[in-house]
Amino acid sequence: MEASPSLVTPDDAVARLRALGFGERETEILAEHFVDADARGKPGHGTSRIDWLASWPGLDPTARPERVVAEEGYERWESRGALGYLVLAAVVEAQLAWPPARARVVVAHNSAPTGVLGYWARKLAEGGLVTAVTATSPRRLGHPEGGPPLTGTNPLAIAVPSSDGEPIVADVSMAKATHGDALAGRAPLEDIVPFGGDQAYKAFALAVGLQLLVEALAGDGLGAVLLVARPEADPVPAFRALADGARLPGDR
């Protein structure tokens, strides 16, 4: 495998983010996400994104997201110009600080880019909360029968805590290859189509459903929707036993 010139060390990542104007806490959040993405084999979402951030339209390193509705079963967040990574970090922190008694739907408006959704879902699961999260991204997937791009690659991540300490984290993009893969030179642009081959209509249908779910709840622009809930049961250990050592979603 070729060495990637854009892969940087954690210290480099911090220095580059500080140079973009991010404060200490925001730098820590962003660096941890990017370094984790590299470590989990998702370099398209990793430290290679730091240079790309410099070209982010209207990048405002001082912007902070705001929770504009906070109810037991529902929260709404506005990015207020903050990067989606920082919006989701704030959402995660808030859920862990004030978890729902049962379940809560959290909607984030104007919250791109969100990076690796499984990363945020894993943090919630490690804090004991069952999580499902989806987010829209720029329209890149067309109808399997052709036509213009209609939906983002719209990943769905689901994380479930486990008493054995290691949550299950499923994190699936509806695209054959993600834009991150293409950015990292690991996939050709023409692979940014719904996955599934002759059943690509299934991944396309999921991408459409998730796209409109987010748009209906968050409003215009790119957004994210999370379901966070306290588990009533602890199904992961028995599931791992049934799988008898097979590698499960989210395992390293």
Contact status: 232 vs its own copies (CB under 8 A): yes
Looking only at residues 59 through 78 of this chain, which bind its own copies when binding is defined by CB under 8 A? 69, 71-74, 76
Confirm or reject binding of residue 98 to its own copies (CB under 8 A). Answer: no
Q: Which is nearer to its own copies, 57 or 147 (CB)?
A: 147
Here's the x/- map for its own copies, 177-216, by CB under 8 A: it reads as ------------------xxxxx--xxxxx-xxxxxx-xx
Among 1, 148, 163, 252, binds its own copies (CB under 8 A): 148
Could you write out the DSSP letters of every residue in the chain? -PPPTT---HHHHHHHHHHTT--HHHHHHHHHHHHHHHHTT-GGGTTTHHHHHTTSTT--TT---EEEEE-SSEEEEE-TT--HHHHHHHHHHHHHHS--SSEEEEEEES------HHHHHHHHHHTT-EEEEEE--SS-EEPTT--SEEE----EEEEE--TTS--EEEEE-SBSS-HHHHHTTSS-GGG-SBSSGGGHHHHHHHHHHHHHHHHHHH-SSSEEEEEEE--S---HHHHHHHHTT---TT--
Query: How far apart are the C-alpha atoms of 12 and 80, rounded to whole Å?
Result: 28
CB of 110 to its own copies, least distance (A): 13
Considering the complex, what minimum distance in angstroms separates the CB of residue 207 from its own copies? 8
- Minimum distance of its own copies from residue 118's CB (angstroms): 10
Is residue 156 part of the contact set for its own copies (CB under 8 A)? yes
Report the residue number, 182 or 203, with the smaller CB distance to its own copies: 203
Q: How many residues line the site for its own copies (CB under 8 A)?
A: 70
Q: Please state the closest distance from residue 50 (CB atom) to its own copies, in A.
A: 28
Q: Decide whether 54 or 212 has the Cβ nearer to its own copies.
A: 212
Q: Dihedral sign, CA of 125, 128, 130, 132?
A: negative
State the Rg of the chain over Cα.
Answer: 18
CA distance 212 to 214: 5
Distance in Å, CB of 231 to its own copies, minimum: 4
Least distance to its own copies, CB of residue 170, Å: 3
The answer to whether 77 and 66 have CB atoms below 8 angstroms apart is yes
Closest contact distance (angstroms) between CB of 140 and its own copies is 13
For its own copies, the closer CB: 36 or 191? 191
Positions in the binding site for its own copies (CB under 8 A): 69, 71-74, 76, 100-105, 107, 130, 132, 143, 145, 147-148, 150, 156-161, 168, 170-173, 176, 195-199, 202-206, 208-213, 215-220, 227, 229, 231-236, 239, 242-244, 246-249
